[in-house]
Amino acid sequence: MAVSISHLGYNKISQMIFEWQAADRTSLMALFIVLEVSLHWFWCLYVWWQQDALNTYVNIHYLYPLWLGISFVGLFFLCMVKGLFHSSNDNDIVLSRWQIALVLVYTAYISTVIVMIGYSSLFAGVSLVGGAMLGMMLIKRRYAWRMFWLHIILMLLAIMSPYFGISLPNLRQLTVIHPMLESHNYLTYNEIMAAENAVAALAFENNVLNWDSISELQRSSAFFWRSTHLYLALPKAIFIVYMFRALLLVLDDSRFETLRHANQDELTQLKNRRYGLKKMKYALATVREYQDLSVMLLDLDWFKQINDNYGHDVGDQVLIEISQTLSQSLTDESIISRYGGEEFLVVMPDTKHDSAMVIAEQLRLNIAEHVMKIEGLADFNVTASFGLYTLTHEERDCIAQGYKTITQQKTVARTSPLIKPIATQRAESKIASMQKLPSDICQRLISIADKALYEAKHRGRNQVVSANEMWAEKEGGKQSLYKSR
């Protein structure tokens, strides 16, 4: 199948986004907000610096609480940005080039909006929604919607505030800094507004706009006209939200595809080894107190001969059909994965040894009875050998207890008296989250099932051998996963 470069690029970007940790995505969103907030902060600095010149037009007392608020917001989001450049193991930079490019482009856009067009709540509002949503997109879509509704509510409150006698600082008013010039140059939005306000000022006493006359103007204005602010901004905001929504849907599909490829075995469509092990770890961590867990490793017999006699394609077909037999014979609770070439791993949570033996025996029969019908070849059957091990809850408790004691001793020995309590706490909570089991337990379980599988091959193939029974025979019933055998 031909794959275009743009398709590859698109897959790569979406894969990168979803491999990102939530903390990094939050930090990126915070960085966008910091960029915007710092521009507002510098705008306040400029007004404060020019306060003598702006005194006639600007109620400077409103500037200080606004400036303070902006500073707090900026500092708050700056703290959130901290996680952006370092991953949990400290020195690795987690921002990739495309993310840096995204941040720079957004900065350039916001700078242009503020410097060229002047501060307008409409532009700033839309840019804020855009910037924050860009960050939100990288976290969760429901936040994008919440953010959108919050923005509308805030705008409504701002529109209605004068009717309740509330005066809010008006940043746009701060842009009125020059009287009209006799200039034929291109005028920016900011300059036009300045000119309009200067003209409007003629209508007021002493040719000066003051806050009382502004408040009077606000109260006398019809609610309908005041709310143009909202309904002019709304279509833009909805457009942005829908654009992001469409993007999210595309990314969701892409994420699903990426995860499918990452977890699935191409040939058999079973889960692959990596995912099988991950699910096994999860099953071990979530198994209940009185539940046993059984692990089964099965390997097709004389598979090399099938390849040699009939060809690799027939070998592949056999693997596909046996995988289907596995999926059909086992319940949904079983975790089935292709462990290696013709080897499969089955983990059965909450399954006692006797039940696991019955299941394995039935599976062996199903495989042996399955007739391979390949065009141009005589029908044939394939058999498989099984190694099985059941980790009983009693043994699991013993391992957990022993492991806990060893870990506590190590932690106490390694740490100084000052940091001992914290280190011990951390170690304990980590152990608790793993159900107090050592991290190599999965490999040990598989390796024991593998020994039983080896024994099954040795005994003549096409049979199930239980590691529990094997060691019970050898050691008179005494057995432990962490004891040298």
Ligand X SMILES: Nc1nc2c(ncn2[C@@H]2O[C@H](COP(=O)(O)OP(=O)(O)OP(=O)(O)O)[C@@H](O)[C@H]2O)c(=O)[nH]1
The CB-of-463 to ligand X minimum distance in angstroms stands at 12
- Least Cα distance to 339 among 260, 450, 482 occurs for 450
Residues 336-355 that bind ligand X (CB under 6 A): 341-342
Q: Which of 299, 337, 360, 363 binds ligand X (CB under 6 A)?
A: 299
The CB-of-301 to ligand X minimum distance in angstroms stands at 4
290 Cβ contact partners less than 8 Å away, ≥ 6 residues apart: 393
The CB-of-426 to ligand X minimum distance in angstroms stands at 43
| Joined tokens for residue 399 | 């391992």
Q: Which of 34, 174, 300, 363 binds ligand X (CB under 6 A)?
A: 300
Report if residue 312 touches ligand X, rule: CB under 6 A.
yes
Report if residue 381 touches ligand X, rule: CB under 6 A.
no
- The contact pattern for ligand X, residues 235-274, with x = CB under 6 A and - = no contact, is --------------------------------x-------
The CB-of-295 to ligand X minimum distance in angstroms stands at 19
Q: Which stretch binds ligand X (CB under 6 A): 200-208, 275-283, 305-313, 442-450?
A: 305-313
Report if residue 302 touches ligand X, rule: CB under 6 A.
yes
- Tell me how far apart the terminal alpha carbons of the chain are, to the nearest angstrom: 52
Q: Which of 47, 155, 319, 470 binds ligand X (CB under 6 A)?
A: 319
Q: Are 144 and 244 in contact (CB under 8 A)?
A: yes
The total of other beta-carbon atoms located within 10 Å of residue 250's CB is 12
SS3 299: strand
Q: Is 88 exposed, middle or buried (0-12, 13-18, 19+ CB in 10 A)?
A: exposed
Kindly determine how many residues on this chain lie close enough to bind ligand X according to the rule CB under 6 A.
17
Q: Which stretch binds ligand X (CB under 6 A): 13-21, 148-156, 209-217, 294-302?
A: 294-302
Distance (Å, rounded) from C-alpha 192 to C-alpha 194? Answer: 5
The CB-of-457 to ligand X minimum distance in angstroms stands at 5
Q: Which of 11, 215, 307, 408 binds ligand X (CB under 6 A)?
A: 307
- The counts of H helices and E strands in the chain are 19, 7
Report if residue 420 touches ligand X, rule: CB under 6 A.
no
Report if residue 457 touches ligand X, rule: CB under 6 A.
yes
Q: Which of 24, 191, 265, 301 binds ligand X (CB under 6 A)?
A: 301
Report if residue 18 touches ligand X, rule: CB under 6 A.
no
Write out the DSSP string of 326-394. Answer: HHHHS-TTSEEEE-SSSEEEEEETT--HHHHHHHHHHHHHHHHHPEE--TTS--EE--EEEEEEEE-HH
